[in-house]
Structures are given as structure tokens and as C-alpha cells.
Chains A and B, each alone.
Chain A
Amino acid sequence: MADGIITLTSANFDETVKSATTPIVVDFWAEWCGPCKAIAPVLTEIAKEQVGVVTIAKLNVDDHGDIAQRFGVMSIPTLLVFNNGEMKKKMVGAKGKTQLLAEIAEFIPKKN
């Protein structure tokens, strides 16, 4: 779990998503995808800033294509947001940090 980001595989995907205690954002990516590389540092920053609030995970579509297929991922990067084991949101395409945080804001509990 380098940089606080969980690596998902076909083997641990269901268990990890189901047992997550926070909303979990899964980044479907691959080595050959330029925009995927561009958002990687953004996700690392969010993972660091939102420890215990949002979990960031990555799934390599080259190695675990079955999971990508199951969720109809046909374009990467695609980010899926899961909450309580259920898929709540699908975001296609790379985005900047501000935009990304706005997109996942609904899953972040408000601080009082």
C-alpha cells in the first residue's frame, strides 16, 4: 500500500470494496495510458489529504480485465466510486484535482 493507495486485483476486489470503512474511489488504469499517468499524482495527493475519509485504490485493466469488463469500463482512466460495497458513481476521463474533488464531494462527510 505505497502512498496510501490500495492495489486491487481480481482476487481482492470484491472483499476490499465490501469491507471498506470509507467510500472508495477505484482508478482503472494501464501503463500505456498517458492521461492515466497524468492523474496519478492527483490521486496520490487526494489519498494523503483524505486519510480515513476517502480510500483511493487502483486496478490495472491489463492484468485484471475481468473486473473492468464487469463494470463496463471501455475507456481509461475511469474512476468508480463505491460506498457500502455498492457502485455509486462512474467518472470517465482524466480530470484536474479541483474538478475531481468536486465530483467526489458528495461522498465526503462534512466536517463541523
Chain B
Amino acid sequence: MTSANIHEVIIIGSGPAGLTAAIYAARANLAPLVIEGEPSSTSDQPGGQLMLTTEVENFPGFPEGVMGPDLMLKFREQAARFNTTFITEKVTKVDFSARPFKVWVRDELHQAKSVIVSTGAQSLMLGLENEKRFYGHGLSSCATCDGFFFKGQEIIVVGGGDSAIEEASFLTKFATKVTLVVRRDVLRASKIMQQRALNNPKIEIKWNSQVTELFGQEKLSGVGLIDTVTKEKSRLDVTGLFVAIGHRPNTDLFKGVLDMLDNGYLQTKPGSSYTNIAGVFACGDVQDHTYRQAITAAGSGCMAAIDCERWLESQH
């Protein structure tokens, strides 16, 4: 099935970057088509990573803080207000070898003069053998969804960055004890988040440790740990495990098509959103492994829309 209509711009992804690009593109009369992704319990979903967070305290304009999913809903409404069309599915294939560019959603072909890629990044899981089996049975990718089920229980959070501490702090509302398993002897998190972890009596930090095994029949009952310095093994009885060890960019669609760094992030021309293909732009976490904030993603989404608009004009 092919839609005869050739769009000015297709935006792939709908986190802060994609939706900001949509707002700017729509206000520039480009009537963007946003292929926003589909519901999932990972951050690879419409609205992106903020959909799995609770209170966002550092997004300017919200002195009282704002709930991540509410913020993304507002982004989306603002884009919709200025003539943006949404498809709530995932892109399955792209062909950027000729113009108009081709983007498929299953067997449905959409064409556009330009494309903005804002597919973001998703959380890494541990990569352990029986990890899948425990998903939904003690192992969770979403603290805000599942914390509730661990009332009065002991759980662990793996990771030492801001998001690990945010999850651990949030989970202390439910769990009696949260053990933060950190690979090194320092936290990667910002100072304010470190303080929050160290000051929370329900959070205990296990330094130089890594989870190597998951135990349990039907449900998770414990984890095997290894000390990264002494190589000593131990077991910790917990009913819940939450993972916050970092992200990988959602760039599988663009392998062999767009230039990437060794870590899989898209490469953009410094100070711009230009990729190696003229007319294809990238913004947000899919091309940013340094800042990875909602506000920087939104900023780069704005850059992409402006770059795109000027490029389209230059083609006339």
C-alpha cells in the first residue's frame, strides 16, 4: 500500500526531540507526519524515555515539577495543534538512497522530501541467560509501573547513574530496603542525586559489585553477585530487580544507511542536525551520548526542524 501523497517531512520518533521538531515544522507550514512508535513497557514507545519517569524536576517552566508522561502529552498536544499527523506504529524499514525518501510501516509506504530521525535510546538490560523468564516476575524495566508490587519487600536496583538513583529513591516508597548495586566504587550520578542516595536510610549501596545470576522458580527469589575487585561471589535474597545501567540508541533501522559512531549513535555534523545524507536530519538522544536530557533533546529537535526547513527551501 502506498500513500500517493509526498510529505514535506516525516519525523520518526516522538520524544522531546521529535515532538519539538514537529512543533517547529508544523508552525513552518510543513504539515509533518510523525511516526511516533507503538506502546511498549520499555522507553522505546511514543513519548520516549520520559514516559517511564515520575516527577521531572529540571525541565524549565515547571517550578513545581511535572510528571514525565504529562509533560510528553503536552508536547504532543502542542504539535497536534499546528497540523501534525500521527501514526502510532513503528517504522519497519527505510530507504534513503533516492528522493523522495521512503519509510515503511509494515507494508505501508510513506514518502517524503525530508526525514528527521529522533528515535531516541532505550534502557540496556543485564544480558543474563534467564533474564527474559523473570520479566514480569520480579524483574522490571519500569519502576514507576511496578514499584507498587514490591510493598514491604527487599529489592535491588542495578546502576550508579542518575536514573538508577531516581529509581532507587522512588522504590523506597514501597520497598523496606533497596540495595543499589554499583559496579565501581563511585557513583556516576550528579552530586544532588548522590546526596539523595546517601541520605536515604532505606538505600544501601553495594560497591564494586555486579549481578551475575538470577535465582527463583516461578518468581525471582535472589541474585548472585560478584565483587569486581576480589572476585568473591555472594548471594542476595530479593524479590525484585530493577535495572538502570545505561542506554543504547535505537539505530537498528539505519545500519548501513546513516553514519554512526562505534557505539551506534548517529553522527551529525557538529553544531547542526545534518547526517551524511542530504535531507535527512537527526536530533535527540539518537545522536547524543553526552547530555541526554529532555531539554537538550528538545533543543536539538528545534535545530533539526530549522535545518530541515532551510534545506527544503534551498531545493526550490
Contacts and interface: CB of A to CB of B under 8 A. Distances in A.
B140 interface: yes
Contacts, number: 91
B142 A35 contact: yes
Interface string A76-111: 111000000000001011111111000000000000
A17 interface: no
B60 to A, nearest CB: 22
B135 A92 contact: yes
Contacts of B142: 33-35, 75
B41 A35 contact: yes
A93 B69 contact: no
A92 B136 contact: yes
Contacts of A36: 145
Contacts of A78: 136
Contact of A93 (B41, B46, B240): B41
A37 interface: yes
Interface residues of B, number: 32
Interface in B25-74: 38-42, 45-47, 51-52, 54, 68-69
B136 A96 contact: no
B252 interface: no
Contacts of A32: 54, 144, 148
A75 B226 CA distance: 27
Interface in A51-70: 61-62, 68
Contact of A37 (B38, B69, B141, B146): B69
Interface of A: 30, 32-39, 42, 61-62, 68, 72-78, 90, 92-99
> Nearest 10 CB-CB pairs, A to B?
A96-B38, A92-B136, A93-B41, A38-B39, A75-B136, A94-B39, A34-B69, A34-B51, A74-B149, A33-B145
